[in-house]
Structure 1
Amino acid sequence: MHTSDHHVQGLDNDQVIADWPAISVADVAWLKGRYPHLAGDCEVVWHSPRPFSAAALLQSPQGRFFVKRHHHHVRSAAVLEEEHRFIAHLADAGVPVVQVLPDHARATAVEHGDWTFELHAEAPGEDVYRDVPSWTPPNDVEQAWQAGRMLATLHNAADSYHAPQRGTHVLVARDELIRAEDPIALLKTQLPQRPGLADYLAGRPWEAELQRAILPWHFGVAARLASVPHRWGHNDWHVSNLLWHQHGRANAVAAVLDFGLASPASHLFDLATAIERNAIAWLELERGGAAVRGDIALALIVGYRDARPLTAAQVHLLADLLPLVHLDFALSEVEYFHGITGSTANADVAYYTFLLGHADWFRTAHGQALLATLRAAA
């Protein structure tokens, strides 16, 4: 499944051969027949280094556009349109989301062979973090404050959006296992419908590993989440998924990108994910305390509170969610790597380093200090 002519960001802050071939001349030629926006001379001017799909910027006489291509085992048109409907709702509410463009048949997700395509208008603003790996903290606390405030603005708009759970587990950040009274029992019921994940876990002592690494953090959390409403969220709120207006030293969010992980979870789950994504340099934990940015975590919370209230009890629950917030998504990465790309090595990283390792890190002195910082913010 690998292709040798295109490299993307790997799981260890490195460049690796892409699982998916780059957007090609043949892709563009086919898309030109579907999208009037691409009529005339149209060429690829940049390939995205993000790993889970192929994406590129296209230049046509009508302007510049962003195309993303998914393998059909990752996203069908129906599943991709779930994201698009949420984006449309946010746009109607005034949130500065990127515009998803319809084809000549008014479809926003189109299938061709093994692939599912989507086309976006070029969003305004500067892509400050375009070449920065995931889990790299923001440049400064001002950007974190702005990111927190925009997340609250998105949540205010999402309060009035109601749609069912996503039609897939693959590369979606859900909170079902976190909300479950018994996450292991629930996961067992899911495995027959998730053969890639079931095959990876078969023969491993996964129940004992989750009992050791996850369940101590989970104790009491599900009961407290019972009164927290399900709400759609972005669920991948990192500064690299935001475009920026920069005026001297001042920053403002210009556009919100990439709703691939969006689902109905909770707004606290979304905010906890934002802290996990932005306040911990996961790929540089060897730096010790320097890899943990309590100031970034606090700036996210303060910015969020500028547009939406957070009670003391909610902030305490937010801290308790943080060691668990990756649970469902880490398992979806295992499912993706083992069941779709066929890389058991990458699935091992998702399972041991991400799923178990992140939970264990919060038991270290640096992890405990970050949780104490959040609780003090209550």
Structure 2
Amino acid sequence: MSDEVHFSHGLAGDQQAPDWPPLAENEVASLLDGYPSLKGPYAIVWHSPRPLSAAARVTTAGGEVFVKRHHMSLRDERTLAEEHRFAAHLRAGGIPVPHILADATGRSSVSRGDWVYEVHRSATGNDVYRDAFSWSPAGGAAHAHAAGAMLARLHLAAEGYDAPQRGTHLLVARAEMLSASDPLSVLAGQLPGRPALAAYLSERDWRDDVGAVLGPWTQAAALAVARQTPLWTHGDWHVSNLCWSDASDAGRITDVLDFGLSARTFALFDLATAIERNAIAWLDIQQGGIARIDLALGLLDGYRSVRPLAPADLAALADVLPVVHVDFALSEVQYFEGITRRRDHADVAYRTFLLGHARWFAGTEGQGLLDALRHAR
């Protein structure tokens, strides 16, 4: 299988050649020989289409594993350890997170040249959404309800986890811009430490762009965030990061995957992100009619069945949602501009994601979704 042509998900719902070379059989075998719980022969049985790293399912005599490889410019052993510690905390709290394996020296990630690897036990359930693109809606209100309930369980398990903020801005879902009453000043203050993002923004009137589009939401969002309790969160709660007992409406979640975007934010940030990821068909924005209020309310109802929310929380959720994507969108601009050197992708992250998503919420359909959340019963 490793010799077949491999494509990754593009930003417009298309298939593209991957930015990162796919994992190879000999590369995986050399890595896994360092894990005492695994034995050859090894065989790659599936390459992940996710575009931000290279990953594959691999069979071994010691069971199937999921191998993920990052470029060192994006992740290193230190930044991966931040994710791994949070995942381990959640697993200890009863959240079904696949185990991260340690090599013979006890490391949960392994550096080799320009690359760093992590090895997870494969999920036990069915990867129902493995071919789903990011920002494609959940498969129905029942799955949305289950996803909301599991997210609430994760937040309860995360309480008491008091690690500091992530050590990187790159492809993590932080909330500094979202939390600020003057986000332009916050961003300007970050730019000296984020040269690729600074270089991209220097070529456009970013203060006017960002100020015009985000300005209407800034004060309400900042006031809402100020009332929230800090919490480590998943950051990318999409149904494709969950495995299921089966694809039916009665299917239950068996595994929670991928803590790559996790960071210290707050619970409503994660819930707003879940709605933004699962209940708005962003890839169809040109056709209109992209809000799936049924899915948004399904997520909300599932969440509240485990972790109740007051009316003030619903108002805060609606205030945060239009700009919940801002910090991550900027991190994508930085990634595409500075690491993959894909200016075309950086333009999509800036124009379509950062500005376009916020702009959509000012329209009739976006306002209808926010009103539905504010008045949910």
TM-score interval for Structure 1 and Structure 2 normalised by the shorter chain: over 0.9
SS at match of 1:246: coil
Determine helix, strand or coil for the equivalent of 1:57.
strand
For 1:329 and 1:248, locate their aligned partners in 2 and report how far apart those are by CA, in whole Å: 32
The runs of 5 or more residues in structure 1 that have no matched partner are none
How far apart, in 2, do the equivalents of 1:304 and 1:103 lie? Answer: 37
Farther off after superposition, 26-35 or 365-374: 26-35
Q: Deviations over 1:163-190 (max 9, x none)?
A: 0100110000000111122111111111
Following TM superposition, where does structure 1 have runs of at least 4 consecutive aligned residues deviating by more than 4 angstroms? Answer: none
Q: Equivalent residue for 2:181?
A: 181
Hey, what does 1:47 align to over in structure 2?
47
Q: CA deviation at 1:25?
A: 2.4
Counterpart CA distance in 2 for 1:225 and 1:65 is: 39
TM superposition score normalised by structure 1: 0.97
1:100 counterpart residue number: 100
AA paired with 1:363?
A
What's the CA shift for 1:372?
1.1
Question: Do residues 128 (structure 1) and 128 (structure 2) align?
Answer: yes
2:235 maps to what in 1?
Answer: 235
CA distance in structure 1 between the partners assigned to 2:248 and 2:26 by the alignment: 42
Superposition pairs of residues 339-378 of structure 1, within 5 angstroms = 339-377=338-376
Q: Is the 8 A contact 2:279 2:293 kept in 1?
A: yes
1:307-326 to structure 2, matched below 5 A, reads 307-326=306-325
* Kept in 2: contact 1:101–1:120 (CA 8 A): yes
Contact 1:101 1:119 survives alignment (8 Å)? yes
Correspondence 1:205-220 to 2 at 5 A:
205-220=205-220
What are the Cα deviations for residues 120-165 of structure 1, in whole angstroms up to 9, with x where unaligned? Answer: 0011111000111111111110100000000000000101111010
Question: Once the 2 structures are TM-superposed, how far is the Cα of residue 247 of structure 1 from its aligned partner?
Answer: 8.0
1:249 is displaced (CA, Å) by 4.1
2:321 maps to a residue whose letter is L
Aligned to 2:68: 68
**Structure 1 residue aligned with 2:117:** 117
Which stretch shifts more, 113-122 or 242-251? Answer: 242-251
- Per-residue deviation, 1:36: 2.3
- Give the corresponding residue for 2:282: 282
| Distance of aligned partners of 1:129 and 1:359 in 2 relative to their CA distance in 1, 3 Å threshold | same
How many angstroms apart in 2 are the aligned matches of 1:50 and 1:246?
22
Residues 110 and 118 in structure 1, CA contact (< 8 A), matched pair in contact too? yes
Contact (CA 8 Å) 2:214, 2:323: kept in 1 or not? Answer: yes
Change beyond 3 A, Cα 1:58–1:258: same
Shift of 1:287: 3.5
Instruction: Return the letter of the residue paired with 1:138.
Output: A
Q: Deviations over 1:6-37 (max 9, x none)?
A: 31000010011110000012321321232124
SS at match of 1:100: coil
Over residues 318-359 of structure 1, what are the superposed CA-to-partner deviations in whole Å (9 max), with x where a residue is unaligned?
Answer: 011111000000000000000000011100000000000000
Aligned to 1:163, the other structure's residue is in SS state: coil
Q: Secondary structure at the match of 1:56?
A: strand
**Aligned equivalent of 1:332:** 331
Structure 1 distance, partners of 2:247, 2:16, is: 35
Spell out the pairing of 1:185-196 with structure 2 (5 A cutoff).
185-196=185-196
- Preserved CA contact (<8 Å) 1:37 1:60: no
**Does structure 1 residue 299 correspond to structure 2 residue 298?**
yes
Three-state SS of the structure 2 residue aligned to 1:185 is helix
Counterpart residue type for residue 188 of structure 1: A
Moved more, 243-252 or 131-140: 243-252
Task: Answer whether contact 1:31 1:38 (CA < 8 A) is retained.
Answer: no
Distance in 2 between the 1:142 and 1:224 partners? 29
Q: CA separation in 2, counterparts of 1:27 and 1:183? A: 44
Amino acid at match of 1:39: K
Give the Cα–Cα distance (whole angstroms) in 2 for the partners of residues 16 and 246 of structure 1.
Answer: 29
Deviation at residue 248 of structure 1 after TM alignment: 5.4
Tell me which residue corresponds to 1:154: 154
Name the CA shift for 1:79/1:247 in 2 (closer, same or farther; >3 Å).
closer
Partner of 1:166: 166
Deviations 1:40-84, CA, capped at 9 Å, x for gaps: 210111100000000000011111100000001110110001000
- 1:223 aligns to what? 223
- How far is the alpha carbon of 1:239 from its aligned partner? 0.5
SS of 2:64 mapped into structure 1: strand
CA contact (8 A) 1:95 1:154 kept: yes
Counterpart in 1 of 2:271? 271
Q: Would the aligned equivalents of 1:124 and 1:255 in 2 still touch at CA under 8 Å?
A: yes
Listed one character per residue, the Cα deviations across residues 239-295 of structure 1 (whole Å, up to 9, x for unaligned) are: 110000128541111100011100000000000000000000100123322x21101
Count of aligned pairs: 374
What residue is the counterpart of 1:202 in the other structure? 202
- Does the 8 Å CA contact 2:142/2:249 hold for their aligned counterparts? no
Residue aligned with 2:232, SS: strand
- The question of whether the paired residues in 2 share the 8 Å contact of 1:6 and 1:21 is answered with no
SS of 1:116's equivalent in the other structure is: strand
Normalised TM-score (structure 2)? 0.97
Q: Is the 8 A contact 2:58 2:67 kept in 1?
A: yes
Deviation at 1:5, TM superposition (A): 4.9
Aligned twin of 1:253: 253
Distance 2:233 2:153 in 1: 11
Gaps of 5+ in 2: none
Which residue identity lines up with residue 287 of structure 1 in the other structure? Q
- Once the two structures are TM-superposed, the CA of residue 368 in structure 1 deviates from its matched residue by 1.1
The letter for the 2-side match of 1:120 is H
CA displacement at 1:108 relative to structure 2: 0.6
Change (3 A) 1:61 1:185: same
Alignment correspondent of 1:87: 87
% of aligned pairs identical?
Answer: 52
